[in-house]
Structure formats: structure tokens, C-alpha cells
Amino acid sequence: MAFVSASPASLGVFVTILAVVSAAIVGAIGRAHQSAKAAAIAAGGLALWLAGIAMLVHSGRMATLPINGLPLIFGPVLLFSTALGLSAVGRRVAATLPLALLVGFQAFRLPLELVLHSWARQGTIPETMTWTGQNWDIVSGALALIAAPCATRFPAIVRITNIVGLASILHIVRVAIL
């Protein structure tokens, strides 16, 4: 597939989503530790990783890497989120933030899926990476919006939301690799 640049508007929306998600992660870590230093360390690590990815994409090297460099994006995201969730930091974030907020955070997937759909229509990414193809991640984003307000009263819905989200991520990683 020849590379087709995405529209400036869709790139702007994507960068906005990325900034909001990054700020939410950094903010959650800072709040959980009640420490600007913890937030700064999280922000610095995130900024370094994003800058590295941006440099690879901008240089054109990403397209020459195996599987177009997708393991450099998905691998660290999966490893970081798993490590964070299982770490003392993750436990502190879970103990500090309301469950509804943690569940609702996953709603970022809705606008992200709209951007991906736009990119498929523009020819930037294959259609298989959208809900009209094999990426049904939009379901976990919608489920997060439904589950968040009732997360405390109905903990089973949180488990279901997490299972659907995990299955969705694993499925899209499989799709991306194939």
C-alpha cells in the first residue's frame, strides 16, 4: 500500500486525542503520587517515546521496518499499560481515582476510531484497521461510556468492559500484524 498523507484536520484531531490521553495518564500518575516530580518523570518518558516514534515516521524509516514498525508502537503501549496496571503506581492510581473515571477513560477510543475511519476513507490506512474492516475497538469505547456511570453500583459491568477492551486490543494487534 502506497503511503497517502492524512488530511491536516484529521491529523490535528489525532494529535489532540494523543495529547488528551497523554495528559490524563500523566495527571493520574501525578495525582496518585501527589507529586509534580512523578508527573514530570511520566511526562518525560512519554515524550521521549512519542518523539522517537515521530522521528521514525518523519524520516520514513518506519515503513522500512518489519511490519511497518507497528511493534514499536503496539509493543511499548501493551508493555507499559500492563506494567503500570500491575505496579505499585497502578495500584495507587486505582486507589486514588474514582472507578467511573478509570472506566470512562477508555472512551477515548470513540474519537480515535472516527479518525481511523477518516484515514481509511482518505487511503492513509487499510480499511481493515477500522470498524468497517476488522477493528471493533469502537465497541469498547462505547461500552466504557455506558459502564462508567454505573461502575460502582455494578462492578460486573467493569469486568465485562475490561474483558471486551482486552479482547479488542489483542484482536487489533493480530489484525495489524497480519
Residue 176 has pLDDT above 90, yes or no: no
Report pLDDT digits (tens) over 78-136: 888 888 889 988 899 999 999 999 999 999 999 999 999 999 999 988 888 888 888 88
- Tell me the pLDDT band of 27, cut-offs 50, 70 and 90: very high
How long a stretch of residues is the chain? Answer: 178
Would the pLDDT of 1 be above 70? no
Q: Which residue has 500492563 as its cell numbers?
A: 82
Our CA angle for 85, 25, 74, nearest 5°, is 65
- Take residue 21 and report the three cell numbers written for it: 490521553
